[in-house]
Amino acid sequence: MSQKISQDEMKKAAAIEALAFVKNNSIVGVGTGSTVNHFIDALVDIKYKIAGAVSSSQESTKRLKAHGIEVFDLNNIDTLDVYVDGADEVTKHLHMIKGGGAALTREKIVAAVAKEFICIADESKQVEVLGNFPLPVEVIPMARSYVARELVKLGGDPEYRQGVVTDNGNVILDVHNLEITDPIALEQSINAIVGVVTNGLFAHRGANTLIIGSPDGTKVITLP
Ligand code: 5RP
């Protein structure tokens, strides 16, 4: 008889699998979210083998520190071997939508410094085409209405994420109903709107490896 495995157990299994990608004595790039929280908890088992971490959010920093893992300032780091983070949606090309937890800008910055992006997720995050999950866009507060009007011109329906202020003091617009057939081009077009800090498309720099937790076990997909 096959046992039912919960979404959270799939996230945890993917997170634990990611430990194999962490190199001895390295500083690990750490994302944000419930899947990454499992990764941070799993890091405790190898914390004496790593030099520490660079974090993508105040939330992850707090959790890392609570586990006794040193958190470094990215400005003092030239390069990271790996960055481990979750996703809201991911395609077979390892393009992603991220930012459900509003940490997209810091996530994109830390990912940019890393040689390898390891995406960890449960199987519900795999999609054929991105866009069912509303695309988060981090915006300078005074530009909110202007950016929203520009996003409508791109075919989206922006919705202000009420009550959320990012770690950078900005606001989030969640863009519904976008047809994301060319994620690299759309990522660039949205980032070119004045007042946008960044958007949650991670296509220009997607993941290198995807670890998916599923009822049949974890699957590791690495792009050539
Ligand atoms: C946070 C993110 C997360 O990686 C994304 O929202 C997935 O979250 P979870 O692991 O909780 O499903 O981009 O900004």
pTM: 0.97
User: What rounded mean pLDDT belongs to the chain?
Assistant: 97
Kindly give the distance from the C-alpha atom of residue 120 to the centroid of ligand 1, in angstroms, as a whole number: 10
| H, E, C per residue of the chain | CCCCCCHHHHHHHHHHHHHHHCCCCCEEEECCCHHHHHHHHHHHHHCCCCCEEEECCHHHHHHHHHCCCCECCHHHCCCEEEEEECCCEECCCCCEECCCCCCHHHHHHHHHHEEEEEEEEEHHHECCCECCCCEEEEECHHHHHHHHHHHHHCCCEEEECCCCCCCCCCEEEEEECCCECCHHHHHHHHHCCCCEEEECEECCCCCCEEEEEECCEEEEEECC
Confidence at residue 3, expressed as pLDDT on a 0 to 100 scale: 64
| Residue 86 CB–ligand 1 contact under 6 Å | yes
| Residue 213 CB–ligand 1 contact under 6 Å | no
Q: Which residues of the chain have pLDDT under 50?
A: 1
| Residue 99 CB–ligand 1 contact under 6 Å | yes
Kindly give the distance from the C-alpha atom of residue 103 to the centroid of ligand 1, in angstroms, as a whole number: 8
Atom 6 in ligand 1: which residue has the minimum CA distance? 100
9 a catalytic residue: no
Identified catalytic residue from 107, 138, 150, 187: 107
Confidence at residue 179, expressed as pLDDT on a 0 to 100 scale: 86
| Residue 100 CB–ligand 1 contact under 6 Å | yes
